[in-house]
Amino acid sequence: MLFRWHRMVASGRRDLGDIGIYRTSKEPMQVVSGRIGAQKVHFEAPPSKQVPSEMKRFISWFNQTVSQSAESLPAITRAGIAHLYFESIHPFEDGNSRIGRAIAEKAMAQSFGQPQFVALATTILAHQKSYYEALEKANRGTDVTAWLTWFADIALEAQRRTITQVEFLIAKTKILDRLRGRINDRQQKALLRMFREGPDGFEGGLSASNYSTITGASPATTTRDLTDLTEKGALVRTGERKHARYALDLARG
């Protein structure tokens, strides 16, 4: 399954020598961050020749802990250890982070007995700096308590992000359904553009100049369109005149 995942992750890559198999390079496998010339090495994985035996141990542990008995590990604990264990081995030439996040999500789904709609991978990427720092610290010894604390916080944040995203999609649907046939093409284009920004919306709010750029409307038309959207409950305005900013009225839906 892991080899199949790696073939999907590396699909189309011509710069990799090992695709769908464990890495074989004699060069050290290092996890680094930062720009070229100022990169920081966070840790060095086991040599390629050790990967098959290390992965055999990892897969054995992963399959043995899948049991949902009273003695099994808590879902977040198992997922966190699985992710750290896999990333520490770093078995593939590239794509380890994406596969490692997938393993964590698979572990969560197995522990709960069903797929979990949780934005775990997205949340980890949103905290990439602290993620590398937590991995680096965890690989200095055998105590993984600090890592599991970090991972648990991320898992809880991922759950909150998921709930927010679901609520946002519901509100989006309600707004578009309520305004169907009541707004012009310019207004619809602007709303759809705002929805693409997600729950956080435009940074600093949508301005009249933003609206003009998106729709090509003149200043006078922009003012009329934004006023109309506000009166119809699609947008909420804060500030006045050139300082006016608009946000989606998600509370009203």
CATH code (residue 214) = 1.10.10.10
pLDDT at 69 over 70: no
- Of 66-80, 82-96, 114-128, highest mean pLDDT: 82-96
Tokens of 51: 């990967």
235 and 144 both lie in a single domain: no
Last residue of a domain, one of 162, 192, 216: 162
pLDDT at 72 over 80: no
186 and 128 both lie in a single domain: no
Look up residue 79 and give its DSSP letter.
Answer: H
C-alpha distance across the termini of the chain, in Å: 43
- Is there a contact between 95 and 6 (Cβ–Cβ < 8 Å)? yes
Phi, psi (deg, nearest 5) at residue 21: -145, 165
Domain limits for position 192 = 181-248
pTM as predicted: 0.76
227 vs 71, more confident = 227
Please tell me the total count of domains within the chain: 2
pLDDT in tens, 141-173: 899 999 999 999 999 999 998 999 899 999 999
Q: Can you say whether residue 47 is alpha, beta or left, with left for phi > 0 and alpha for psi between -120 and 50 degrees?
A: beta
Last residue of a domain, one of 162, 197, 222: 162
Alpha helices by DSSP H, listed for the chain, are 2-9, 51-64, 75-89, 96-112, 120-126, 128-138, 145-179, 185-196, 208-215, 219-231
